[in-house]
Amino acid sequence: MTGSYRRVLLLAGYICIAIVTSAQVQKQQPISAGKKISADLFGLFFEDINYAADGGLYAELVQNRSFEYSPTDRREWNPFSYWEYITPGFSYGSVQVETTSPVHPNNPHYIVLNIEHAGDAGVGIRNPGFDGMVVKAGDVYTLSLFARSLTDIPVSLAVSLQTPKGKILAEQKFSTPSKEWKKYTASLVPSIYSDSASLVILATTKGKLAIDVVSLFPEKTFMNRQNGLRPDMAQALADMKPKFIRFPGGCLVHGDGLGNMYRWKNSIGPVEQRIEQKNIWGYHQTAGLGYFEYFQFCEDIGAKPLPVLPAAVSCQNSGGTWRIGGTGQKAIPMEEMSDYIQEVLDLIEWANGPVTSTWGAIRAAAGHPAPFNLEYIGIGNEDKITPEFEQRFKMIYDAVREKYPAVTVIGTVGPFPEGDDFSRGWVYARHLAVPVVDEHYYKNPEWFMSNLDRYDTYNRNQPQVYLGEYASWDNKLKNAIAEAAYMTSLERNGDVVRMASYAPLFAKKNHTQWKPDMIFFDNSTLYFTPNYYVQKMFSINQGNVYFDGVVSKNQNDTTLATSCVQDSKTGDVILKLVNTNRESKVMKISLANFKGISPTAGLTILSGDADAENSFEHPQNIVPVQTSIKVSRNFEHTAPPMSLSIIRIKTKR
Ligand code: AHR
């Protein structure tokens, strides 16, 4: 393009001059012709931290269903943790954990119940779930268990849901004649609601029985998926209309030592054959919510899946914690790398391959013959950028590029927004021409406000950025509003920032080891932080073209932040106006660039006291308020103190 031709285009683009706001020294800003920005900008990052998966999004109600808890997970745990051996009604017998002949070698522990005298009520076990099971009157709960009779006489079982005082809410009886492992199921329909129910299994006849994989699943899961998700939690994510979901971590991915990496193949197939393991966040992963379920959920809510696989190195804090450090990064030995690379390639075949391919057939057998259309794959998470990392990353990256050039690889540049790993990671990513790299930072609100220009100067001819984890250090409104201001800068730089996701997503009451988080929950309810509302307001109001200069403001004023995007599918023009001040500010808006503006626009405002937050007791303290306003070619908006306003304007096309 010649210089003069470019100038003509530029001039044609600069359509209107907007007059700037009241209190500031205002500068006239030209409205740009609009630049294309990422269509995948705002999505979600899900990690099993704070009991987000087991005991959270994954709808299973039984805790330690496969008797695989161990002191490796937590020093005081063992395979019988969260189970109680019970002998009501003058019964006696014994229970013990065995491993000699399991349901599947991947799932080695099971229990043997020896019923010497069944008494009035039987010999059995009780499981309180994750802090008590919430069961609803009239809803169906599917009990399933694997059993193997160890004598010639079939054992009779009574399975029930009971309150802490022993009131039976639902009960079913069946016998277990098979001398081989067999799956038995029964439906339990509670007569009344309880938030502290237990599952009780009583053997009511004399005999000896092996039991494993005791599951209680609500029939009502999100979109009624088998082995599915808790509906209210899943719906909270669906409502955000995320463009993508990154999973399964975080630090969970590269793991506490090589043996603890998240290996995707361990998380698919029948649940009784999945390999459970310690969760790096101090508890246990059943892998019940595994790769199939993650991909299915993404598809169900229209989000692109973004699986992250280890870069063949473990977490540099392995053997310790992210706070105190540990034994250091360990790397998969070179002689095992070709198998590991194959594992990465197999994932892409599993996700995208035809049913005639080896891994496509496995996906089809799991109930999904159509490909999942995987576009992105993350390699590594916050890894220390060592020669071992670089060598292995390159091997994986080259193999993926060669076999699947259409899949975008996302690299990693350490845990901080600057520093050694950040610089080395970037240098290496540039050297390899990695298409996108994953930046992470957790900072105070002031940091976000003073870094609104961070991406303005990023080179557009180098790797793009996925801001995979960020949050300001609390869940008060002022934190959320600082994030909102920052998100306007992500939109402005949406030509180099391809994706962004807040972290972490979920935190369970009494099991939160990381704060801030986006959504807090217990077994029956959840509440949204102001940060959730900011994320949601941006996420459901994404555009693919960015316009400069539509809202007038002093360029140097970092207490206000604005952006304007257009969604070319709907034609809607969307303004985001952020005021971090403790008084309101008038902003002037010029829509001269847009034709056919509808005079009535939607206005959503999140505002309130800077230190206000939501809680289980006061979940509605800070919520967005929706109204409509009149707009015209030139109009003003008064942004309340500490607020995010989103104005969505329809245009005729
Ligand atoms: O989001 C919590 C943790 O923060 C992630 O696991 C890790 O990637 C980061 O350090």
CA distance 366 to 364: 5
pLDDT of residue 31: 64
CA distance 171 to 187: 9
Cα-Cα-Cα-Cα dihedral sign, residues 383, 298, 492, 545: positive
C-beta separation of 297 from 229 below 8 A: yes
pLDDT of residue 317: 85
As given in the structure block, the two tokens for residue 485 are 């201001």
Cβ of 503 closer than 6 Å to ligand 1, yes or no, is yes
Helix axes 387-403, 420-432, angle to 10 degrees: 30
Q: Atom 2, ligand 1: which residue's CA is nearest?
A: 504
Q: For residue 107, which of 287, 258, 253, 259 has the smallest C-alpha distance?
A: 287
* The one catalytic residue among 60, 382, 390, 483: 382
How does 474-491 read in b/e, with b if 16+ C-beta sit within 10 Å?
A: bbbbbbbbbbbbbbbbbb
Q: Atom 9, ligand 1: which residue's CA is nearest?
A: 250
C-beta separation of 246 from 412 below 8 A: no
Distance 401 CA to ligand 1 centre (A): 27
487 residue type, one letter = M
Cβ of 255 closer than 6 Å to ligand 1, yes or no, is no
pLDDT of residue 26: 41
Probe target for ligand 1 pocket from 49, 251, 421, 422, with the most ligand atoms within 8 Å of CB: 251
Q: For residue 110, which of 155, 64, 156, 66 has the smallest C-alpha distance?
A: 66
| DSSP output for 316-334 | TTTTSBTTTB-S---B--G
Distance 250 CA to ligand 1 centre (A): 5
Q: Report the DSSP beta bridge partners of residue 576.
A: 563, 646
Q: Report the DSSP beta bridge partners of residue 575.
A: 564, 647
Cβ of 415 closer than 6 Å to ligand 1, yes or no, is yes
**Residue 249 alpha carbon, nearest atom of ligand 1:** 6
C-beta separation of 268 from 364 below 8 A: no
Query: Mean pLDDT, consecutive 10-residue segments, the chain of 653 residues?
Result: 31 28 42 89 98 98 98 96 96 98 98 97 98 98 98 96 97 97 98 98 98 98 98 99 98 94 98 97 97 98 98 87 67 98 98 98 98 98 97 98 98 98 98 98 98 97 98 98 98 98 98 97 98 99 96 86 97 98 95 95 98 98 98 97 98 85
Distance 427 CA to ligand 1 centre (A): 22
Distance 55 CA to ligand 1 centre (A): 19
C-beta separation of 143 from 218 below 8 A: no
Q: For residue 275, which of 533, 89, 102 has the smallest C-alpha distance?
A: 102
219 assigned to active site: no
Which residues does 63 contact at the CB level (< 8 Å), separation at least 6? 54, 55, 82, 127, 128, 129, 130
C-beta separation of 539 from 501 below 8 A: no
Q: For residue 378, which of 347, 353, 340 has the smallest C-alpha distance?
A: 347
pLDDT of residue 1: 31
- With 0-12 / 13-18 / 19 or more C-beta atoms within 10 angstroms meaning exposed / middle / buried, residue 503 is buried
C-beta separation of 131 from 88 below 8 A: no
Distance 503 CA to ligand 1 centre (A): 7
CA distance 412 to 378: 8
The CA–CA distances, whole Å, from 391 to 165, 172, 312, 397, 432 equal 60, 58, 10, 10, 11
As given in the structure block, the two tokens for residue 167 are 């009131």
Check residue 608 and give left, alpha or beta (phi > 0: left; psi -120 to 50: alpha).
Answer: left
pLDDT of residue 30: 62
- Helix, strand, coil shares of the chain, percent, nearest 5, are 20, 30, 45
Cβ of 250 closer than 6 Å to ligand 1, yes or no, is yes
Q: Atom 7, ligand 1: which residue's CA is nearest?
A: 250
Cβ of 41 closer than 6 Å to ligand 1, yes or no, is no
Distance 440 CA to ligand 1 centre (A): 8
Distance 504 CA to ligand 1 centre (A): 7
Angle at 400 between CA 397 and CA 405, to 5 degrees: 115
pLDDT of residue 553: 80
Q: Atom 3, ligand 1: which residue's CA is nearest?
A: 250
Indicate the pTM of the whole model. 0.94
Probe target for ligand 1 pocket from 281, 317, 413, 514, with the most ligand atoms within 8 Å of CB: 514
Q: Atom 1, ligand 1: which residue's CA is nearest?
A: 504
Q: Report the DSSP beta bridge partners of residue 176.
A: 155
pLDDT of residue 249: 97
**Residue 251 alpha carbon, nearest atom of ligand 1:** 6
Q: Report the DSSP beta bridge partners of residue 248.
A: none
Cβ of 47 closer than 6 Å to ligand 1, yes or no, is yes
Cβ of 49 closer than 6 Å to ligand 1, yes or no, is yes
